[in-house]
Structure 1
């Protein structure tokens, strides 16, 4: 049986990045399945829905929308829609915006890849950096991602880690080589709360990341993409702060 690839994201099944990812996947020679959120689920990390039902909508052949998070989508695909022949690869993205540093903790794009990792499936998150939200350089990811994915699949990495790929905010023909990086600090400085009043006079609040350019470690993903490189970072669940663990005297 042909290898199967599961596509998902956190921007929603109708997001432009999903169309880019479908174009990328079509070049890999896999049977393609799309199981993605019905609506934008950015910032949902690895969360799964334990207190609400999930509903499926069929959007075409092997194409489904899910009324839940990216993590829900992976679970629904692996344990329900594709349970007889699970995917051999999970691709999550292409996210509109970089997923670097602390943002990888909040990212639904990365969260979906890590959920795939939980099932023992090799999983890759893909994100496209931009500086102008109205002019995201999607062609950079579309052009370079197939070769990056094929290269990664030839390497000896196991499902105990997932791979986080960030494409730089450069035209495709000006993008540099692949660089293997570590997770850095990234550019998120804090999370702010904005207070507003709706037309009925009721208060509501909006959470917003505050980002600032910062100098990061030379081998970090943010440094690589700032230099126009494609940053590839292996991620895992283990988050023990070893230096603190040692200092506790245990």
Structure 2
């Protein structure tokens, strides 16, 4: 797959956010590469890791913001809070062309997409009338994340995604496979897969003072899936682009 375009699409003002936090390497990588094709890059991200927050918004506590550099802000809130703050306060009079969320450390595919703060930030931006995309990088070892793959492929993937016709009520959920750049295949449009989450357990543990604490433990299952699904595409070494919308109706439930 070619890693560059002859004439990459230019962007004006871009707002970046994520759910891994303001200091996450994926956000730094996204800002670095987007700056090459954008006139202005703004960042509003959570001050700390907010993974798994889905579309939560802060309604019972004040939000505090700290400037961390030129056009760069850390917010004491969720990813959706960050999108709202950026669009309805910080850039209220000069809205961005697009909101980009990520790059998340770990894939956001299958049954776990609804839990994703990365995807939720993009959905919130779309709800507020701004086009949005979410980016995630699959991993098998959290100590060895293939950031070089995302760095190499992002310009080509972003340019490809910008050229797609996207429904007005949808965002693009984009996932990079856990492979070296030279081993990644094509970019494919996929559907959200099902059956990738086996169960969620609660693990009780004991701290150093004898107190009990608990961890949520996601038990994943990888069924045999085709490359037309988000999880299946990653298994086949492909970059997955999945349109995600707001309609949560269960078609079988209507009947």
When the two structures are aligned, how many residues end up with a matched partner? 245
Deviation, 1:186, is 5.3
Counterpart-to-counterpart distance in 2, 1:128 and 1:185: 19
Counterpart-to-counterpart distance in 2, 1:129 and 1:138: 10
- 1:1-250 residue pairs with structure 2 within 5 A? 3-185=12-194, 187-245=196-254, 247=255
The answer to whether the 8 Å contact 2:226/2:233 transfers is: no
Runs of 4+ that moved beyond 4 A: none
Counterpart-to-counterpart distance in 2, 1:167 and 1:136: 11
Counterpart-to-counterpart distance in 2, 1:215 and 1:179: 18
Counterpart-to-counterpart distance in 2, 1:190 and 1:236: 24
After superposing the two structures, state which structure 1 stretch, 107-116 or 157-166, moved more.
157-166
Deviation, 1:199, is 2.2
Counterpart-to-counterpart distance in 2, 1:23 and 1:178: 22
Deviation, 1:183, is 0.2
User: Over aligned residue pairs, what C-alpha RMSD do you find?
Assistant: 1.3
Deviation, 1:46, is 0.8
- The 1:13–1:67 alpha-carbon spacing in structure 2 relative to 1, beyond 3 Å, is same
Structure 2, gaps ≥5 residues long: 1-10
Q: 1:52 is paired with a residue of what secondary structure?
A: coil
State TM-score, norm by structure 1: 0.94
Counterpart-to-counterpart distance in 1, 2:170 and 2:143: 33
Deviation, 1:216, is 2.7
Counterpart-to-counterpart distance in 2, 1:50 and 1:101: 29
Structure 1, gaps ≥5 residues long: none
Q: 1:102 is paired with a residue of what secondary structure?
A: helix
